[in-house]
Structure 1
């Protein structure tokens, strides 16, 4: 008897598609393998969670150079645990960088840059890390880590003199970069950026002493209002004469505090 083809009947080939696709079998469960193991997931979670952090960094261009300042506190959550961690790093005689955010990632960036500088010295080709070159290099580094879903949770400020002209730029943890005459990171963006920009735009260019006085005022305001601020800080001034560091400490005046109400 000739078989008649029925288009509505189920048909399976020799590899037993019914079992492989779990057709009509209720006691078999197909599971999808996870994209990452539990250990990898924990590592990724820790990577995107800063532990020891640094607060705001302030920097701006004045007449003849660039000035930067940052406190020396490493905050372990809300605990002021590490009280002598400088966050301004000198790369060479014309280039410096300042970092805020996760300080472990900041150390990694500093070590990577120092290794690159040592490589340039060994090659003896006369090349040197300029501010523009360092700014571009940090942009590539942070963007590369972001695309690997393992970002460096650090903001980098690059400053120095490029062809005897002041340079100031920033790179955030996503690899986005820009150049500006005034840059602040952290909560300083909200507490000080506005009124400092007004001073710098509505007055003549500041000289070195005026720039240092304004920077002291900025750090003092941040110390008053930032719960992660610290009294001791370092100021870095880059001019054609080289790089100069100064260690300072805020002298606060709390005489107005008893007159305030509802501040607890």
Structure 2
């Protein structure tokens, strides 16, 4: 006797999706391939809160070069734990990298850049990482990590000499970037940027000595007002002649403290 087709009865063949997902009376076992590897899954378990952080970085353009400064403190929360962590990194004779924020992410960025520089040297084609090239590369790196929902919680400042002209740019943790003659990160963006911008806009271009003196004033003001600042800091000056580093220490004057009582 021939079987009759009943349109109200479900019929499934051997390759039906319902059978593959073990629905009904099927004995098939379906295994779903993971959408991410174990390593990628572990990334999401990493902290998104910086643990060891560096404070502000200050940088501006002067007549003939760029000057940067940052202290050498790594703060473990509110504890001034690591007191000799330079945050200004020389990439080559004309390119400088300065970092603020999460210092473990800063180390990751420095290692990635050093690997890129070494790769360029191995190729022996005469190419060199220029400030503009490093600036563009950092935007891609930071934006890539942000799209992976695992951002590098660090602010990057790239400085140097590009086509015989001073170059200064910043890339934040989201990959947003801009170029400017004055850049501050951290709390210096609120405490120092206003009055320094007024000085730089309303005066003639500073020479190297004047720029260094002004940078010392900036760091001293930050040491007074930023509770995560440190007395010892490094200054980097980039000109056509090369890169110069100086290790300095703030000499504070707290004699004015008694006169600031009851001023709230």
Deviation at residue 262 of structure 1 after TM alignment: 4.6
Matched, 1:151 2:151: yes
- Off by >4 Å, runs of 4+ in structure 1: 39-43
The corresponding residue for 2:76 is: 76
The corresponding residue for 1:189 is: 189
Per-residue CA distance 1:58-82 (angstroms, 9 max, x = gap): 0000000000000000000000000
Q: Where do 5+ consecutive residues of structure 1 fail to align? A: 1-34
Per-residue CA distance 1:148-201 (angstroms, 9 max, x = gap): 001100000000000110000000000000000000000000000000000000
The corresponding residue for 1:121 is: 121
Q: Aligned pairs, how many?
A: 252
Per-residue CA distance 1:88-111 (angstroms, 9 max, x = gap): 000000000100000000001000
The corresponding residue for 2:16 is: none
Deviation at residue 36 of structure 1 after TM alignment: 9.1
The Cα RMSD (Å) is: 3.1
Deviation at residue 225 of structure 1 after TM alignment: 0.4
Per-residue CA distance 1:18-53 (angstroms, 9 max, x = gap): xxxxxxxxxxxxxxxxx999x988853533111100
Q: Where do 5+ consecutive residues of structure 2 fail to align? A: 1-34
The corresponding residue for 2:254 is: 254
3-state secondary structure, aligned to 1:53: strand
What TM-score does the superposition give when structure 2 sets the normalisation length? 0.85
Does the 8 Å CA contact 2:43/2:150 hold for their aligned counterparts? no
The corresponding residue for 1:66 is: 66
> In structure 2, what is the Cα distance between the partners aligned to 1:83 and 1:45?
29
What TM-score does the superposition give when structure 1 sets the normalisation length? 0.85
Deviation at residue 83 of structure 1 after TM alignment: 0.1
Does the 8 Å CA contact 2:61/2:166 hold for their aligned counterparts? yes
